[in-house]
Amino acid sequence: MPGRTSLSDLGFGTRAVHPRKPASQPGEPIAPVLDQSSTYSFTDSAEFARASADKTGAGYVYTRWGNPTLDALAEAIAYLEGTETAETYSSGMAAISGTLLALCSPGDRIVSSRQLYGGTHSLTTTLLPRFDIQTTKCDVDDYDAVKAALPGAKLLYCETIGNPAIRVADLGRWGELAADAGVPLVVDNTFASPVLCRPVEYGARIVVHSATKFIGGHHDLIGGVVCADAETIEQLRGLTRELGPTLAPFNAWLCLRGLQSIHLRVPRSSDTALDLARYLGSHPEIERVFYPALESNEDYEITKKILGGRGGGTLAFEVKGGRGRAARFQEKLRVIMAAASLGGSHSLIVHAASVTHTQLTEDELRAAGISPGFCRLSVGLEDPDDLIADLEQALAP
């Protein structure tokens, strides 16, 4: 109504929307600040215009362009990975697809390891070819094939620890091959985390993560991140700001909380995984165990060089009797849960051919080393003796 001159004169509905703000007090919060706002206001119209034109760095306008909690997470992970900066995404696959789409154009070709997460395999074999972006895949230790495939390629891509057969890439060799060919090396460091490996130290230019895994660490968020130099990240932002695979601020806040314990969780799960690998390696119902920290593993020396001797929190093994026997074994587990993720507080198991790598044909499964009885076990934070006892009772006839 006319005549209202102060906030106290505003109507009830207006006061509900525009509450009175408390007086500021000294003191900085120790916990990361969660900023849930989707949009931001300005009192200076010139600043509003500059921030809107710049999208990042000149002020917060809209969370798809920038948000304080997202920026805090990006800087925290970049700091651990040793890169200039980073960009956050709504999922690990958003981070991977955003990177490849930003760096490649129609007619370009990618060279990658054959040992890839099922979603990345599907992206490179099914989706990217629709945009005339092809991929040549080589075994992670076939350096001659990688070298032969690189001329004319746009980038080189691999996983530090390949999914699901737990092969470790000799990133030093891959970095040299990329440098000799004059192309960037992109490394998915999800399975290792920056606790065990920082790929930029071996020549990688770009490091991608599913933050859902070890970074978050508690099975309660979906997120992704790309770490790189500022110029590369700016190139990625040009695409992601338009496509909008924005990480939710609350999920970013959960990641920031998870990062504070990552240096404790990763060694714990890695050490327990080695205990389980040794136990399974001597079990009569297990055909074969895949874990790079085992002295008998083909990647043992690379693991010492790249991962400091720890093999990560995920192992794989073949149950004798094929798919049916593997299914019965999983159904008998009581502590270990059948679920498709890794890097969290709970131990999880999946049958790779029917869960994580359903996109692969039978021939592609065999080429990736995935047999009918192949299981992937992500080790959580439970007591090792309890996990061994659970495996023992589930493998009993």
Q: Is 81 helix (H, G, I), strand (E, B) or coil?
A: helix
- Verify cis geometry, omega within 30 degrees of 0, for the bond prior to 164: yes
* Distant-in-sequence, close-in-space partners of 330: CB < 8 Å, separation ≥ 6: 338, 349, 351, 375, 394
Under a CB-based contact definition with an 8 Å cutoff, are residues 115 and 137 in contact? no
Neighbours of 175 (CB within 10 A): 21
Q: Is 50 a catalytic residue?
A: no
And the tokens for 290? 């895949």
Please pick, among 64, 147, 288, 305, the residue that the annotation labels catalytic.
64
Buried residues in 136-154 as b, exposed as e (16+ CB within 10 A) = bbbbbbeeeebbebbeebb
And the tokens for 69? 């909690």
Q: Is 155 helix (H, G, I), strand (E, B) or coil?
A: strand
* Distant-in-sequence, close-in-space partners of 15: CB < 8 Å, separation ≥ 6: 7
Please pick, among 117, 157, 202, 291, the residue that the annotation labels catalytic.
117
Buried residues in 57-67 as b, exposed as e (16+ CB within 10 A) = eebbbbbbbbb
**Of 341, 294, 317, residue with least CA distance to 395:** 317
Q: Which residue has the tokens 């859902």?
A: 212
Q: Is 180 a catalytic residue?
A: no
Please pick, among 167, 213, 237, 265, the residue that the annotation labels catalytic.
213
Q: Is 242 helix (H, G, I), strand (E, B) or coil?
A: helix
Distance CA 164, CA 341 (A): 12
Length of the chain: 397
Please pick, among 188, 265, 299, 390, the residue that the annotation labels catalytic.
188
Q: Is 271 a catalytic residue?
A: no
Q: Is 383 a catalytic residue?
A: no
Which positions are annotated as active-site residues?
64, 117, 188, 213
